[in-house]
Structure formats: C-alpha cells, structure tokens
Amino acid sequence: MRRIQTGRLIALLIMVAGISTAGVSLHGLIERTYALGGPDELDVPYVPTPESVVEKMLDMAAVTGSDLVYDLGCGDGRIVIAAAKERGARGVGIDLDPERIRESKENAREARVTDRVMFVRQDLYNTDLRDATVVTLYLLPSVNLEIRPKLFKELKPGTRVVSHDFDMGEWTADQIAEVDGSMVYFWVMPANVSGTWEWTMPGSTGKERFVLKIEQEFQNARGTLTAGSSEMPVRDVKISGDQVSFTVDQAAGGKAAGVRYEGRVNGDTIQGVIHNPDGQSEGKGWTARRDPSTVVPIDNSDEIPL
Ligand SMILES: C[S@@+](CC[C@H](N)C(=O)[O-])C[C@H]1O[C@@H](n2cnc3c(N)ncnc32)[C@H](O)[C@@H]1O
C-alpha cells in the first residue's frame, strides 16, 4: 500500500492550514480535489507555488541550460516553464489531473517553450526519474516520505532535489531558505558509498593493502580504514553527489597526522587523490574497489513491513 490514509489526512490538514492564510479557501480546495474522482485519485490538491518561490527553487538548484527538470505534480507547469524560459533548461511536468496538463501545455505555448518542455498525464509514483538532473516538488510531507525511496533508487548521484514547504524527514536538507513565508529545502543526491572498499598502495615494506568500511545514513557516513594491522577511524566524511572525501589520522614519523582522501564514486569504484597533512597531494592517486555484496541501500523504508 503506497498511500497511508491517516498520514495523508494529517499532512493535508497541515497544508490546508498553511495555505489558508495565503487566500486559498479550504472549501474550494476540497471541492476541486474531490471533483477529480475523490481523494484516492490525487495525492495532493492543486496549490500553485508563488513566482518568488519558483525563482528561489530554481536558484537553489542552480538550474542551467544543461538541466532536465522534472516537476512531480506540475500543476499549471509554472516551474518547468520558468526553468525553460529563464534558464534554458529542458523540462518534464507530470500531473495526474488532465485539467492541469491542458493548462500547462497552453501556458508553455504562450511562453514559447514547447520545444523544451513536455507535460505528461501520469501518476508521479509511476514516473521514471532516471534522466532527471533536477527534481522539483510541492507535495505533502507524507508524499515526500513515500517517494523518498524512489528518489534514492532512480536518481543519479549529483541530481538536485528541491521542495517547496516540506522536508524529507531524516534526510536532512543540504540547504534551507525562506522566501515570502515559504520554506524551500534543497538536497544533492548522494552517491551510495556504503560497504567494503579495498585497494593497495606502495608502502615502506612493499605493497600495502587498505580496507575501508563505510556505514552511510543519507549524506552522512562513518567508518574505519585498516592498513596492515592497524585500524583507524575515518572522520569528516563528506559526500556530495558523486564526490566523497574523508580524513584518516595515519601514523607518520611517530605521530598521527590527518591524511585527506578525495575521490569520485562511479558504481563500485572510487578514484581520486590523497592529500598529505600539509595539504599537498604529491599527485598520489588511489583507486578503490567495492565488494558489491556489501552495499546497503540508503533508503529502503518502502520495504519495511507495516
Ligand atoms: C501543490 S500542487 C503543486 C503544483 C506545482 N508543482 C507548483 O508548485 O506550482 C500538487 C500537484 O500535484 C498533482 N498530483 C497529485 N497527486 C498526484 C500524483 N499521484 N501524480 C501526479 N500528480 C499528482 C496535483 O494535481 C497538483 O497539480
């Protein structure tokens, strides 16, 4: 069951409370929602994002001409159309309500961006998101949580996600802003670096074997690095898109000094550069490979039995 009725109701009430002050009548909102086939049809009622908030969402996601922006529940298409018209991006708007799709197409024609955008009447839960470089949302707290595992399964590391008014629970935002009384949350999809990684490097006694074990919670991680017989904690782990870095206090000349590892994650390979405590890389590279059986999904909350 993808829809949790009680959660939805609470979330809907939260949203209604929030928007009633913005002049949208509760009566009109519910009338519109139910007219479309009842509450089981739409997961979220139609409430447009104010233009100032649209701008902020596109700014935070740093949308450019090389982006493909997906708006899940696109309403009248305003986010996708603004991304195309003002930033030169391409866009896909998804909405279950045929009236919204008609409106979006009409608005795209008026804005002369029909060559850069498309609007599809489709359930956002059944939408393939793998091509997106930016995903925009104005849904509900419960719907954000329900689609979160899908975002982690389908979006490439580095894809930017921006949500009007609602967060993603334990997946804390990388940036939060407030504009004209609305909250905007921004995340960069982190690579999954969990599991056991190994590599070898020349050491004082020949080839030395390194084993890195990482546990990850969304964009945060901790772990250990074993070199020879000594196990050291890794600290200051940073994961941003496909970039990962961490520090290990490795023994050098009788004392521990922070060695910074930086790399790019590509599937089960990390390739990068090692910076010595003095900040110099000396061009020392490292290439680690992961045992694929050790990867833990970042978000499998959709698989937890109720
Ligand atoms: C709050 S509005 C946001 C509109 C637009 N994204 C904006 O920010 O201006 C939510 C939209 O989601 C659409 N919607 C609700 N449930 C949906 C679903 N399961 N699949 C696709 N669209 C859905 C509604 O029709 C509505 O247009």
Q: How far is CA 176 from CA 162, 163, 188, in A?
A: 10, 10, 12
Centroid of ligand 1 to alpha carbon of 145 (angstroms): 15
CATH 3.40.50.150 range(s) for the chain read: 47-188
- The CATH class that applies to domain 195-294 reads mainly beta
* Closest C-alpha residue for ligand 1 atom 23: 73
* Closest C-alpha residue for ligand 1 atom 4: 75
The CATH architecture annotation of domain 47-188 reads 3-Layer(aba) Sandwich (3.40)
pLDDT reported for residue 37:
45
Q: Which atom of ligand 1 is nearest to the CA of 136?
A: 6
What parts of the chain have a pLDDT lower than 50?
1, 3-13, 16, 19-39
Pocket (CB within 6 angstroms of ligand 1) = 42-44, 46-49, 71, 73-75, 78-79, 94-97, 100, 123-125, 138, 164
Q: Which atom of ligand 1 is nearest to the CA of 42?
A: 16
CATH 2.40.128.120 range(s) for the chain read: 195-294
Centroid of ligand 1 to alpha carbon of 72 (angstroms): 6
What is the per-residue pLDDT across 53-112, written as a single tens digit (0 to 9) for each? 999 999 999 999 999 999 999 999 999 999 999 999 999 999 999 999 999 999 999 999
